[in-house]
Amino acid sequence: MGLETGVAVAGLLVGIVAAGLAWAPRRQAGREQGIALFVRVRGHLKGHRAELSTACAEAQTAHRADRELVLLTRPGWIPDRPLPLDAVRMTLRESRPDEQLGSCRADLVRYWPQVPGARRAATYSAAIEAYDRPGVWFNGTSYRLLDVTPPPAGLPGDGLDLAFALGRYFDGLDTTEPLAYEEALRHLKGASAPLRGPFRRGLGSPFALHGRAALPGVSTLTIRVENGGSGGTDGAAHGGSDGTGGAYFFMHRRDAGRVAVAMDTTHVAPAGEFQPHADVLPVWHSGLDLWHNTMREYAEEFLAAPDATGGGGVTLDYAHDLPYAHFARAVRDGRVRVRFLGLGLDPLSWKPEICLVCVWDAAAFDEIFAGMGEHNEEGVLVVGARAGDGYRGVPFTAGNVLGYAGHASTLPAGRACLTPAWRWRRELGLL
């Protein structure tokens, strides 16, 4: 190499290094802007979820077969009366190749910021892990809803057939909850009309469950009944002409810093993901049980028991292990009645929601939940006045029930439990 050539090459290398040094601050600034935007959108979603959800519900009335409910439903998804849980028939199958989630995740990568050790987060859960991790954070085995078969027309009392595959909690966080993030991003940037984000448009119909991981939540309205409902001695004092004397219910304020989704909202209690309690083959099938799922949520939210979901290898014996044996005995003795109220999709995130109600005799409730606290791992329980060593609940009156059901800060699934429970209060034995 001649002297002139060497000088030229050296000059080129110096220029490349100088350009790289000049570009590095811009890259770093771009990375920091991406992170800041992600955190802002997450904050906007926490602070405006009610507003976003209301707008999406109003824009999707064509997908609300039961217009009184804010959940998206199809004919037959809401029965004509409360049904026993065996009216919801569930099966587990393998997912098909056309139901895989790779392309769905790839469609969303443009939204996620860079994370340490990577150019860009591959998933929503990875971005949350890096920059907004909540107190409750676990990628447990979950049931993924794939097919809903309603009863024949004119026979809503025949219940539903639901087909599931196995998935993971982060599957839903990565492919369904981003619909809420996308809506918050567009709203933050001043978009005037909901439902026009590219990811949502690409999915098409909210009822096309195969295109994403639609992991159901199970939401249960808890009603505590004293002295046989309206015949209670304190009916006039607590129920009044607009209510069901002697009946009370419980709500839950979800702490924005403790949960990954539905932050800073009000919900019925207990509520949680539909998941097997252990990631072992026998439990995958036996875990398809709405009452078992609800019992675990009662233990966690009302009794502060450790989370019994998905990670361990020890299996539960619901007939003998405490506190589940107490719950099971109460059902056998008729001291608690569990009913299915319906199925729908959250209007903002399109997450499936299974809605239940548990009506407890006060004596059984007070015995089993003696010493329950106001605070749990995910927020604060709205427990009403004291009742002995426990809590009475909020009076089940039109003002209270329909007030929560009509309030935008109450999650749509919670509203979809409250509205039919009031509609069917006679069928539930509350009158």
Contact 232, 431 (CB under 8 A): no
Phi, psi of 395 (to 5 degrees): -55, 135
pLDDT range class, residue 118, cuts 50, 70, 90: confident
pLDDT tens for 327-345 read 999 999 999 999 999 999 9
In a domain, 14, yes or no: no
With cut-offs at 50, 70 and 90, classify the pLDDT of residue 137. Answer: confident
Residue 8: pLDDT above 80?
no
Residue ranges making up the domain that contains 109: 38-423
Strands, E assignment, 369-419: 375-376, 379-382, 385-387, 390-397
Instruction: Extract the runs of DSSP E, i.e. beta strands, from 203-289.
Output: 217-225, 243-249, 251-254, 266-268, 271-273
Residues β-bridged to residue 271 = 219
Q: Residue 252: CB partners within 8 Å, gap ≥ 6?
A: 266, 267, 268, 269, 270, 271, 301, 376, 378, 379, 380, 381, 382
| CA distance linking residue 363 with residue 361, whole number of Å | 6
In the predicted structure, residue 38 carries a pLDDT above the cut 60 = yes
- Rounded to the nearest 5 percent, the helix, strand and coil shares of the chain are 40, 20, 40
Q: What is the mean pLDDT of residues 86-104?
A: 94
Contact 416, 71 (CB under 8 A): yes
pLDDT of residue 238: 42
- pLDDT bracket for residue 258 (50, 70, 90): low
- pTM, whole model, 2 decimals? 0.88
Mean pLDDT over residues 179-191, rounded? 96
Q: Give the type of residue at 204.
A: G
Least confident of 12-21, 118-127, 380-389: 12-21
pLDDT at position 9, please? 54
Tokens of 242: 């607009």
Binned at pLDDT 50, 70 and 90, residue 157 comes out as confident
What is the reported pLDDT for 233?
35
Q: Angle 415-418-419 (CA atoms, 0-180°, nearest 5)? A: 85
Q: 266 in a domain, yes or no?
A: yes
In whole angstroms, give the CA distance from residue 129 to residue 115. Answer: 9
How far apart, in Å, are the Cα atoms of 47 and each of 24, 57, 131, 237, 353? 35, 18, 17, 37, 22
Contact 141, 276 (CB under 8 A): yes
**Separation of alpha carbons 164 and 23, rounded Å:** 49
Give the residue from 199, 254, 246, 207 showing the smallest Cα distance to 224.
Answer: 246
Q: Which amino acid is at 428?
A: L
Position of tokens 């890259």? Answer: 27
Percent of the residues in the chain that have a pLDDT greater than 70, as a whole number: 85
Which residue's structure tokens are 């595959």? Answer: 165
**Quick one: tokens of 158?**
């025949």
Which alpha helices (H) appear in 164-280, and where do they start and end? 169-175, 178-188, 198-203, 235-238
Task: Check which CATH number belongs to the domain holding 315 and give it.
Answer: 3.90.79.10
CA atoms within 13 A of residue 9's CA, in its CB half-sphere? 6
What amino acid occupies position 13?
A: L
The reply to whether 84 falls in a domain is: yes
Structural domain contains residue 402: yes
pLDDT class for 218, splitting at 50, 70, 90? very high
- 119 near 30, Cβ under 8 Å? no
**Domain count of the fold of the chain:** 1
Q: Are strands 336-345 and 390-397 parallel, antiparallel or unpaired?
A: unpaired
Q: What is the mean pLDDT of residues 350-369?
A: 96
Q: Which residues contact 191 (CB under 8 A, 6 or more apart)?
A: none
Rounded mean pLDDT of 69-87? 96
Q: Which pLDDT does position 93 carry in this prediction?
A: 95
pLDDT at 259 (0 to 100): 57
Residue 13, pLDDT score: 60
Strand, coil or helix: what is 63? helix
Residue 272, beta-bridge partner list: 218
* pLDDT at residue 125 tops 60: yes
CB 24 within 8 A of CB 18: no
Q: Of all helices (H) and strands (E), which one includes residue 343?
A: strand 336-345
| CB-based contact 357:182 (threshold 8 Å) | no
User: Is residue 155 in a domain?
Assistant: yes
Once rounded to an integer, what is the mean pLDDT over residues 39-45? Answer: 95
Q: Is the pLDDT of residue 237 over 50?
A: no
| pLDDT above 60 for 23 | no
Token pair of 102, please? Answer: 């790779």
The number of beta carbons lying within 10 Å of the beta carbon of residue 122 is 16
Count other Cβ atoms within 10 Å, centred on residue 423: 15
For residues 130-153, one letter each, b for 16 or more C-beta atoms within 10 angstroms of the residue's C-beta and e for the rest, the string is bbbebeeeeebbbbbbbebebbee
Establish if 165 belongs to a structural domain.
Answer: yes
Rounded CA separation 202/55 (Å): 20
Mean pLDDT of the 126-154 span? 92
- Is residue 32 assigned to a domain? no
